[in-house]
Structure formats: structure tokens, C-alpha cells
Amino acid sequence: MKFIRGLVGYTIAGMLVMAVWGQLGAFGIFGGYLAAFIIIGPMWFMNHFVNLVGNKDDAAFVDMGLAIGVCGIMRDTFMNGTESLVSSLPTIGLVVVGAILGGIVAAAFEKNMAKDDEYEETAPEPGMTGKELDRLAETE
């Protein structure tokens, strides 16, 4: 049932964005803000706050972007044929490379934050930096 709920939530988000976003683009920058308020806000509320898609609390919510992207690619493929899909492959490849690099950077940040937490737990005094702890360890 969770799969069906997610499928419905993501499909509604993707189809709504593909149906309405273009018309709001006629209003320029204000149209972008309007689209975010009218489309993305309620879809995020439905999928994540109400938790229609069943995300865990510590999960990253990149799923709506993926669903909207897939919906856009498939809409153009169905409307214009497979040449639309083939012409989008370089962009999809760059998105995958960006996602991999983003994951590597996020892992490095998390590792660094864990190291900072370790220093805070072992510090004899609150607020000691890692360098101060290293110097203290050398003198002992």
C-alpha cells in the first residue's frame, strides 16, 4: 500500500507541475514564486507533512524532484517521440554526476561533524577546539 500511496502522490505532483508551471511562467519571476506557492507547497504538504509517501524522519526529501523530472521527460517522450528522450540523456548524465558528487560532499561533511562531536565529548572543558585537545594530549 505504501508503494501505491507514493505512486499516487508523486504522480499528482509531476502532472500538476507539468500542466501548470508553463502557464505561470508568463508572469516572469513572480510566476516562479506563484508556482512554488500554488504547486510545490501543497504537493510538499501532501507528500511529506501529511506523509502520504511514507518517508522516514531522517530521510532526505529529494523524491519529489525526481518524480517531477521523470514526469517531464516522459511527457515529452510521449508527445514528441523517443528523440526527446535521447536528447535529454546528456542532461540526465550530468544530473547523475552531480548527485554522486553531492553525496560524496555530504558524506565528508557528516564525517567532519562526527569528528567535531567526538572532540566535544572528550574535551575536559566545554568549548575546547580540536587543536587544543591535540596539544593537551601531546603534553600528557
Residues 35-88 have pLDDT tens digits of 889 998 999 898 888 888 877 777 666 678 888 888 999 999 999 999 989 999
The pTM of the whole model exceeds 0.95: no
Tell whether 2 and 71 lie within a shared domain. Answer: yes
Closest CA to 72 of 91, 53, 45: 91
Tell whether 92 and 131 lie within a shared domain. Answer: yes
d(CA 69, CA 116): 37
Tell whether 22 and 68 lie within a shared domain. Answer: yes
pLDDT of residue 122: 67
Q: Which of 29, 57, 80 corresponds to the end of one domain?
A: 80
Provide the domain count of the chain: 2
Its domain, for residue 123, covers: 83-140
pLDDT of residue 65: 84
d(CA 33, CA 19): 16
